[in-house]
Chains A and B, each alone.
Chain A
């Protein structure tokens, strides 16, 4: 059987553009959740987020960043200008995803020879553009919109909402890929599931190289409002809004960003001289099938996903030396997740260090699983376990070894990342250090 390895990684987060900025900030134990800058949120109940440090994504900024990450490419400037003209860059996850993908592809040392690669990209909800809707809203006849006006309206081409698959298509176009493109929409489990699918297809021999990752941004008025109505975000508009596994936790902080990976057959990677960053050795997925509005409080299906990943990896639970938890900081998620970890790892759960990076970068929704798998590369590659930003008070309901705010030095060979989606989808992925 051929193993799947990660040979390229790209990250855009609240810490900035590029994986080095992300790893450096985690290593230093920083947090980047703060006041929203990309729109005036002063009247909103949610006013903080883990926002990428760019107020408005424009073509020239994107082109400059792309040069930094992947070298000079004239065609990209023209491409990005077209996207700006067509209104596409208003969907923030497009720009964030493209940059992460360019970094991953360049980091893996891949070029046009792998242009037929399969891409599996996770994205979140469509970005809705309220101003476009307002333009066709007929206040004198609130029963309907003026659709005729919508049809005859000039540019931008992308109006009302950004199609779900558009961010993934943009990644494809920017990389010049021509292979099949799969768009996963499994909510907050999606970013982990795409890595699992990629590894499975590579082990099976159905693909040699896959671009897999996720991009998402809910940092816009409509999405922030929708999540507020669900009661998920913390009611405190403070930088420590998200306090995973803390006794005082009261909700999540919304984040945005992207993490992309090049995943390929280990033999292929080594034959072309690429350095594998980690091996993807296990994965599992389950469905809570519980309620639309809440996770299973007993964590049993999440436990099953972790247990399946361990079985697939053919390891003993005690071999897991770090868990990057879903750890949303909501009252319901964290204790259920602790039960899941205990259930799957048994006695080994007492010793394994667990942390969540959501206090530091926010909840990246569809991209959360992907960026958290990227975070697992830090202990595997540099021996540093990320801390849990804003975790100060131990909760008796979460009485496992939660790594506090400060990162911890540890020699980690095997790391597990778990992700649980709104709607009940659960995923777990296990990485192993290469070499």
Chain B
């Protein structure tokens, strides 16, 4: 499936939170130079000591969004999304009231606090198991009344919408890669179809949660020595018209590689062929001088690299998940941010971003510099 707007859609700003900090400017250079310091993530110290990951540093007050009361209701991913959304809106000059501004976001799994879970379990245990009688009484009494706001997946988007007053068409898509690309497709569609003139689109997630980590290990997706996990958020501000765009989006597409990425070796050949198809769909088989990759794991990385060197041997290559870690729903959007930085810095004029998540969903986005001559064409 692909979306190619009638005219390329201007990108007017980017908001970003990653292990590199809170700006997209210099992002591409930082990724290439691997300027990221891996740390033992706060959330994983109890469950997976000595694991190193790409954690977003403490949020400085000038970048933060929401007040202390709101922060209590927000998961880690929601905090990161709010930072990125605020930055994107501010830099795009979208001031309040923000009626009608669209907001489409790839989001991750529930991010409830482990302390909340422990409190419920502690009050509900009888012998080695949970007693429903105790859970219904003491367990519920011990539970955090606002814990549900951390759990509901859509609140990664809704908290930002509430804080910033963004009221237009919207959608939250669970993403281990593909949902974030679909979020961008929906934003392009909404602008192209006249549902809104401006929209935010991106992804926010943290893979550094003990239950997410355990889930990935059990599903066979995670080899800690090979896969670097991370967290982050990147949100693009898009507009129907813009006086000073920082980039254009010409189109994007989403495909699926059948089977499980736990069988990544089997999938890799398909990935390479699929990348070729997708690049053709978005008109990027040629004239691309930068390819940004956001693959999950080694086999997908090899497949995407092999495609890149076969089809666009002259293109520069950046691998965002290799540097920033895989932050699931945020990974494709962080790669878009890196490509936009490269375009803004004059490192490239036309960039293809390929993402391949563990869900087998493969996305491609073609971006071009405002100083170049973007190609158009509606599907």
Contact = CB atoms under 8 A, between A and B. Distances in A.
Contacts of B219: 157, 163
A184 B173 contact: yes
Interface in A211-252: 221-222, 225-230
B103 interface: yes
A288 B148 contact: no
Contact of B161 (A180, A222, A227, A287): A287
A424 B211 contact: no
A306 B134 CA distance: 44
B337 interface: no
A207 interface: yes
B109 A163 contact: yes
Contacts of B170: 186, 285-287, 425
B211 A161 contact: yes
B132 A289 contact: no
Contact of B173 (A45, A160, A182, A291): A182
Interface residues of A, number: 78
Interface in A363-417: none
Given A134-B130, A160-B215, A292-B73, A182 B125 contact: no
Given A226-B147, A285-B169, A183 B179 contact: yes
A290 interface: yes
Contacts of A147: 46-48, 210, 214
Contact of A130 (B135, B149, B167): B135
Interface stretch (B18-26, B55-63, B228-236, B253-261): B253-261
A400 B172 CA distance: 32
Contacts, number: 228
A225 B135 contact: yes
Given A186-B170, A193-B171, A40 B132 contact: yes
A365 to B, nearest CB: 10
A291 B167 CA distance: 12
Given A134-B128, A147-B214, A230 B148 contact: yes
A131 interface: yes
Contacts of A143: 46, 118
B366 interface: no
Contacts of B178: 180-182
Interface string B309-346: 00000000000000000000000000000000000000
Contact of B136 (A44, A169, A226, A230): A44
A74 interface: no
A205 B158 CA distance: 30
Contacts of B120: 222, 225
A271 interface: no
A424 B359 contact: no
Nearest to A423: B158
Interface string A4-46: 0000000000000000000000000000000000011111110
A222 B120 CA distance: 10
Nearest to A172: B256
Given A134-B130, A286-B169, A125 B179 contact: no
A49 B373 CA distance: 59
Interface string A145-173: 10100110000011111011100010000
Interface in B63-84: 70, 73
Contact of B256 (A125, A165, A178, A204): A178
Contacts of B158: 287, 292, 423-425
B140 interface: yes
Given A165-B174, A180-B1, A205-B379, A185 B135 contact: no
A123 B175 CA distance: 13
B143 interface: yes
B47 A145 contact: yes
Contacts of B172: 184-187, 425
Interface residues of B, number: 82
A284 B193 CA distance: 12
Contacts of B173: 182-185
A162 to B, nearest CB: 9
B154 interface: yes
Contacts of B161: 287, 289, 424
B189 A201 contact: yes
Given A134-B130, A201-B1, A289-B161, A182 B359 contact: no
A279 interface: no
Contacts of A123: 174
A163 B329 CA distance: 14
Contacts of A435: none
B31 interface: no
B171 A285 contact: yes
A152 B118 CA distance: 21
Given A134-B125, A287-B170, A161 B215 contact: yes
A139 B135 CA distance: 16
Given A287-B170, A422-B152, A225 B139 contact: yes
A73 interface: no
A421 interface: yes
A207 B118 CA distance: 46
Contacts of B93: none
A217 B148 CA distance: 16
Which of A144, A185, A290, A422 has the largest count of B CB atoms less than 10 A from its CB? A185
B162 interface: yes
B188 to A, nearest CB: 10
B1 A206 contact: yes
B297 interface: no
A278 B144 CA distance: 44
A41 B136 CA distance: 8
A165 B153 CA distance: 12
Given A178-B256, A288-B167, A165 B359 contact: yes
A273 interface: no
A44 B211 CA distance: 26
11 contacts: A42-B133, A159-B214, A180-B255, A181-B256, A182-B182, A201-B1, A204-B189, A228-B140, A285-B171, A289-B164, A289-B165
The 4 closest A-B pairs by CB, nearest first: A43-B136, A423-B158, A44-B136, A185-B153
Given A139-B125, A145-B210, A225-B139, 9 more contacts: A160-B214, A163-B109, A164-B174, A178-B256, A190-B154, A201-B1, A204-B3, A221-B132, A227-B148
Interface of A: 39-45, 118, 123, 125-126, 130-131, 133-135, 137, 139, 142-145, 147, 150-151, 157-161, 163-165, 169, 178-187, 190, 193, 197, 200-201, 204-207, 221-222, 225-230, 284-292, 301, 304, 308, 421-425
